[in-house]
Amino acid sequence: MRKSLVIATLIGAFAAPSWADSFHGAPHDRAVLHEGEMAIGHPGDPALIGRTIRVSMRDAPDGAMTFDPAALEIAAGETVRIVLANDGAMPHEFVMATEAEIDGHREEMRGVADMPHDADFAARVGPDDQASLVWTFANAGSFVFACLIPGHYEAGMHGRLIVG
Ligand SMILES: [Cu+2]
């Protein structure tokens, strides 16, 4: 009885902020999500990093924007450092989540002024700069990563993240 109450409380705490709130919301919302488990996994312990993956963020003079590589394959349970190198001329983001979460957030962003995303599962990187994320991909599944700066996804800036 008491145990189920605790579990219900925990589920409520993790479910309360929407996925988008986790990087737009108040700091306390973020803190809750830091403790929580997302479908894609959770922040990784640097001591457990098995490998480093470099992802280049690019924008071409013709307007095409890309991630290279555009697909990542990671073993379920693997902890990796993802180094995000902005080799382009403009700022870019890397946000990883389920496809539904990314699509839903792109809808929310329509007509909204640009808002930076910053969380354990996301980073904004300026030109000629780099950032890194340490993440444990706890669950097998198909996920996506994308740049959510307005217009960038549409210009090609998204990729597949296969955990299996
Ligand atoms: Cu971008």
Q: What is the pLDDT of residue 113?
A: 65
C-alpha of residue 149 to centroid of ligand 1, in Å: 6
C-alpha of residue 138 to centroid of ligand 1, in Å: 26
* Complete domains list, the chain, with CATH: 1-36 (no CATH), 40-163 (2.60.40.420)
Per-residue pLDDT tens, the chain, 164 aa: give them. Answer: 444 433 333 333 344 345 555 555 434 343 333 445 899 999 999 999 999 999 999 999 999 999 999 999 999 999 999 999 999 999 999 999 999 999 988 887 776 666 666 688 999 999 999 999 999 999 999 999 999 998 999 999 999 999 99
Question: CB under 8 Å, gap of 24 or more: what pairs does 12-15 form?
Answer: none
Terminal alpha carbon distance of the chain: 36
For the packed helices 27-35 and 2-15, what is the interaxial angle rounded to 10 degrees?
Answer: 130
- Nearest Cα neighbor of 88 from 62, 108, 116 is 62
Q: What is the pLDDT of residue 13?
A: 38
Q: What is the pLDDT of residue 30?
A: 39
Q: pTM to 2 decimals?
A: 0.78
C-alpha of residue 98 to centroid of ligand 1, in Å: 18
Q: Are 146 and 117 in contact (CB under 8 A)?
A: no
